[in-house]
Amino acid sequence: ELCKAANGLEKVILRDARGSSAEVYLYGGQVTSWKNDHGEELLFVSSKAIFKPPKAIRGGIPICFPQFSNHGSLEQHGFARNRFWSIDTDPPPLPTNSSSQVHIDLILRPSEEDMKIWPHSYEFRLRIALGPGGNLMLISRVRNTNTDGKPFTFTFAYHTYFSVSDISEVRVEGLETLDYLDNLQNKERFTEQGDAITFESEVDKIYLSTPTKIAILDHEKKRTFVIRKDGLPDAVVWNPWDKKAKAMADFGDDEYKHMLCVEAAAIEKPITLKPGEEWRGRQELSAVPSSYCSGQ
Ligand code: BG6
């Protein structure tokens, strides 16, 4: 279902038979809402988010491509998150069962202006699907369509903003003991110590060679988010905390308490594609009552 939002931008609404739903803006190819079958919102979008180009929408799942953050010479997080994507009416088949699920396929190709910023021709196909149990699936396929024989290299992240009840009650499992690059300390490399990751100040880390499954436990909500990923070895964990929150025009001063970004990514080892080659990166999100997870 394609419709125009009150802000004038086009969005697609996905609804499955059990009542879960997702909302996807063509601007940014960005998921801005994911609700479970009780109608509860699972993603964070700032009340101050600006739904207007050229600013990316603050919240949901921005796509960082072809550059994560400031790891290169392009604008922060690349440009895919502030471009208009199109609906892909005839996508090549995917070897998964997501075609039988409620889904939408989007595509981004470079404009002439884009080619001046990043001189490469590509097709970026994004499938967004609601799976069993209301799971939210995102599958990205990037193909090098350069005709000059040149390879290209990019970094990538699903910059997912999870909605949490109280950041100081949240725990992330699956990243303990791993190496990370600390963006707050000149991208220096450290090793995580201790049991699980908890939050009491600003954090901006890129965990390296992470497992395919990461969990976010929201103690107060008694909810656990599970991220499952393929082709995305890294995981960024970001919360701006109070000072940075105040410095962001499109983010409420206290909203840092109610969000956490855990971003399935490929950063440390950039992806290189020769003409004709395709890369695939997949993330699947589920939200389950915490009691289901005990003992896992
Ligand atoms: C995170 C980065 O992924 O995104 C942070 O690690 C950055 O360094 C944050 O501050 C938000 O970026 P932006 O461009 O959306 O404000």
Asked whether residue 147 is domain-assigned, the answer is yes
Compute the distance between CA of residue 201 and CA of residue 164 in angstroms, rounded to an integer. 16
Asked whether residue 201 is domain-assigned, the answer is no
pLDDT for position 296: 45
**Would you call 97 helix, strand, or coil by DSSP?**
helix
Q: How many structural domains does the chain have?
A: 1
Q: In this structure, what CATH number is given to the domain that contains residue 286?
A: 2.70.98.10
Asked whether residue 218 is domain-assigned, the answer is no
Asked whether residue 146 is domain-assigned, the answer is yes
pLDDT for position 100: 77
Bridge partner list, 154: 271
Distance 91 CA to ligand 1 centre (A): 31
Distance 250 CA to ligand 1 centre (A): 13
Asked whether residue 232 is domain-assigned, the answer is yes
Q: What is the DSSP letter of 57?
A: P
- Residue 157's domain comprises 2-165+223-293
Nearest protein CA to atom 5 of ligand 1, as residue: 204
What is the chain's pLDDT, residue by residue, as a tens digit (296 residues)? 899 999 999 999 999 999 999 999 999 999 999 999 999 999 999 999 999 999 999 999 999 999 999 999 999 999 999 999 999 999 999 877 677 789 999 999 999 999 999 999 999 999 999 998 999 999 999 999 999 999 999 999 999 999 999 999 999 999 999 999 999 999 999 999 988 899 999 999 999 999 999 999 999 999 999 999 999 999 999 999 999 999 999 999 999 999 999 999 999 999 999 999 999 999 999 999 986 554 44
Asked whether residue 198 is domain-assigned, the answer is no
Residues at CB less than 6 angstroms from ligand 1: 69, 76-77, 159, 183, 204, 236, 238, 261, 263
ipTM: 0.98
Asked whether residue 170 is domain-assigned, the answer is no
Burial 27-39 (b: 16+ CB within 10 A, else e): bbbbbbbbbbeee
Sheet holding 2-4, edge to edge: 2-4, 10-15, 21-25, 30-35
pLDDT for position 266: 98
Asked whether residue 190 is domain-assigned, the answer is no
pLDDT for position 292: 54
* Residue of 65, 67, 82, 204 best suited for mutating to test ligand 1, as the one with most atoms within 8 Å of CB: 204
In this prediction the pTM is 0.97
